[in-house]
Amino acid sequence: MTFKYLNKISFKPNSSIREVLERFDETSILTESSGFAVILDEKNRCLGVVTDGDIRRKLTSDFSIDSKIVEALNKNFAFVSEKDNAHKILRQFDKRVFNLPVLDEDGKLVDLYQYSNFVASSRTEQRIIRARVPVRVSYSGGGTDMSNFINKSKAAVLSSTINKYCTASIIVREDEQIHIRSKDLNLGYEAASLGKLSFGDELDLLKAAIKIMQPNYGFDLETNAEFSPGTGLGGSSAVVSSVLGALNYFRNEQQLDIYELSDLAYQVERIDMGIKGGWQDQYATIFGGFSWIEFRKNEVVVNPLKLRRDTLLELEYNLMLFRLGGSRSSSEIQELYHEDIEDNLHKHKLFEDMISLAYKMKDALLKGGVKAFGDLLDASWSLKQKMNGRVSNPFVAECYKTAREIGALGGKLLGAGGCGYLLLYASPKFHRKIKEELEQMGVQHEMFKFDQNGLEVWATKK
């Protein structure tokens, strides 16, 4: 807090000792000492300081009370600058002084720090809170995680997260304004307060995530996604989860746990924003790593899979990820999953078969059977197309057929389907040929690694 009475403790060099002593009776309360004054030249540069003790010592010699105050000046005084950190300021207070003049680069007095009001923690630099969330790759069980199915039957999904992230960064403001910036979309939005947030643009997903957390402070929010929307990686869930994770940091003892955050992310995306889809994305991206996600009638349980290190390395070495280009609205493709399957015995059987495959894939990984996993990936993709005819198209089918003919054991289109990313499992001896052939078809190969951490939140200096 700025010292409000600098004018009352400031004197010119030609002021008399008498004038200063008379003022000490008034300022001793302000400076919380028996007397303290700062002597300034005509340009307000600090020449030195004077205390009641300095004056008393001078008056015991030949000095008169009407002598100029400059005669009692202490030129070797302790002072600090506005840029000094808490440690440096404490070093000065450790000289047994109670009042520290704060000088600018020209030596002019700009403030006074008092030891009685100084708390070292108040000098810490402003912090940026960041939350990072990886995208998910779903291997089997996708589509069975819809509410219309899990409300009546148990379901399960096998998924993992990979090293493509969305990061949300928050800096708290001193006012109530909310500034939003999407770095990857190059879009911005500002509102005077939380209550003034309005919807109707491409940043509505971020606004919905903010609104549901009800922050009682203003802030600057920046998001940066390392992936394009609508590409089958659960990107919208990652974006929402990163914002929720960053804002959750400020809830202190009322912080939500990762199950609560997952439910909240589902609420934002599926209910508030009306983006159709299942429950797996939010849980997979927040929990991270290889997860066996069980959807029961009244709860979701995430089982982290403890896979052997050599299994993870071999699986990562054999899998290939290809960007097919384009994006799509997952809601349109997901419509078929949302149809009531109660009276559709054929569709219900397909869902049950998909869950059975998911169990087999999980068991294969736990036993280190990566080749069996590749074969099951093909079976899962075949079944996924039967469950929803919109997940594939002639171009996707041609890419997959080409890879299989070269030597790929299996694969699948990620997410709701239609475009985005094609995941393939193949022996490394076929990788070069698969990459060459698919790249000739306009498909881009992208390297990736598994992410084991899920939602991560940290603070850093601004």
- Rounded to whole angstroms, the Cα distance separating 89 from 100 reads 9
Residue 13 has pLDDT above 70, yes or no: yes
Instruction: Report pTM.
Output: 0.77
Domain boundaries, the chain: 6-123, 128-451
Question: Using 50, 70 and 90 to split pLDDT, how confident is the model at 398?
Answer: very high
Question: Using 50, 70 and 90 to split pLDDT, how confident is the model at 1?
Answer: low
Average pLDDT, the chain: 89
Residue 27 has pLDDT above 80, yes or no: no
- Report the percentage of the chain scoring pLDDT > 70: 93
| Tokens linked to 52 | 């009641």
* Predicted local confidence at residue 130, as pLDDT: 98
| Distances from the Cα of 144 to the Cα of 37, 55, 137, 241, angstroms | 77, 86, 15, 22
Residue 244 has pLDDT above 90, yes or no: yes
* Predicted local confidence at residue 52, as pLDDT: 86
Residue 459 has pLDDT above 90, yes or no: yes
* Predicted local confidence at residue 107, as pLDDT: 92
| Tokens linked to 229 | 């929307």
Q: How many CA atoms are closer than 13 Å to the CA of 177, on its beta-carbon side? A: 9
**CATH code for the domain defined by 128-451:** 3.30.230.120
Question: Using 50, 70 and 90 to split pLDDT, how confident is the model at 328?
Answer: very low
* Predicted local confidence at residue 357, as pLDDT: 94
Span of 189-193, 326-330, 381-385, 397-401 with lowest mean pLDDT = 326-330
* Predicted local confidence at residue 330, as pLDDT: 45
* Predicted local confidence at residue 60, as pLDDT: 78
* Predicted local confidence at residue 334, as pLDDT: 46
Which long-range contacts (C-beta less than 8 Å, at least 24 apart) are formed by 223-226?
223/166, 223/167, 223/168, 223/169, 223/180, 223/181, 223/182, 223/183, 223/184, 224/166, 224/167, 224/169, 224/182, 224/183, 224/184, 225/165, 225/166, 225/182, 225/184, 226/164, 226/165, 226/166, 226/184
**pLDDT, tens digit (0-9, with 9 covering 90-100), for 439-452:** 999 999 999 999 99
Residue 331 has pLDDT above 50, yes or no: no
**pLDDT, tens digit (0-9, with 9 covering 90-100), for 119-148:** 776 666 678 999 999 999 999 988 888 888
**pLDDT, tens digit (0-9, with 9 covering 90-100), for 344-377:** 667 788 889 999 999 999 999 999 999 999 999 9
Higher-pLDDT residue of 68, 341: 68
Question: Using 50, 70 and 90 to split pLDDT, how confident is the model at 252?
Answer: confident
Neighbouring CB atoms inside 10 A of 36's CB total 24
Residue 258 has pLDDT above 60, yes or no: yes
Look up the CATH architecture of domain 6-123: Roll (3.10)
* Predicted local confidence at residue 53, as pLDDT: 85
* Predicted local confidence at residue 339, as pLDDT: 53
Residue 152 has pLDDT above 50, yes or no: yes
Residue 326 has pLDDT above 60, yes or no: no
Residue 207 has pLDDT above 60, yes or no: yes
